[in-house]
Amino acid sequence: MNSKILKIGHRGAMGHLAENTIASIKKALGFGVDGIEIDVHLCKSGELVVFHDFTLDRMTNGSGEVGKHTLSELKKFKVNNDSEIPTLEEVLDEIDKKCFINIELKGKHTAKKTVEIIQHYISEKGWDYDDFLVSSFQHHELETVYNQNKSIQLAVLTKANVMEAIELAKTINAKTIHPNVALVTRDNIAMAQENGYRVNVWTVNDLETIARMKAYEVNGIISDFPDRL
């Protein structure tokens, strides 16, 4: 069915290098990925930073909530002792249209600024709407993107129920579902695709599961080890 299953690097290539860092993005690009998934939070000074957790404690030498620090404060912390926390623009400039970017709206109030940045890169830097996919577990953030710019492609993340994700997708004209790998069966993938949805599965790391997802003919596989895809 699928001519090609998309290879998508999870937070860059986080199986190899610290997640959501420029080094991890470069590593994923070196593996020839079709797309790279990253996470964004809005920091206290209003910029979007690329970081997964709501707090700094697990990944950096700082502590506390990401959203309660300014960009200049966040830039002083080190991810895994060696990398700085990048802004969304720094990640986009590194990718430079070499593949598409999947921006997951992780923190609250991330939708509006994400839309502004996407529109800027399309109007000023030669990017195309096909270069962007915006995903989230947070329904209201996706709704905000949809209400601001209906040309931006949306994906509904779920770790609970594929049918529920499709019901939400209908309300915001999302064409892509991102289910957790533990949810998917050959049947529910086929059902989603028959109803016009693309299915990108996360997070698929071991070779056996990768082979199973390929056999199920998913549209894309999100992996910490994109070189295994």
Rounded to the nearest angstrom, the gap between the alpha carbon of residue 86 and the centroid of all alpha carbons in its chain is 15
Q: Which of 16, 52, 69, 178 is catalytic?
A: 52
- The Cα 176–Cα 156 span in angstroms is 7
Note whether 10 and 37 are within 8 A (CB): yes
Our answer to whether residue 120 is catalytic in this structure is no
Q: Is 10 a catalytic residue?
A: yes
User: Out of 10, 16, 41, 69, which one is annotated catalytic?
Assistant: 10
Tokens 């991810």, located at residue: 79
Report d(CA 183, CA 193) in Å as an integer: 15
Buried b (16+ CB within 10 A) or exposed e, 85-116: bbbbeebbebbeeebbbbbbbbbeebbebbbe
Catalytic residues: 10, 52
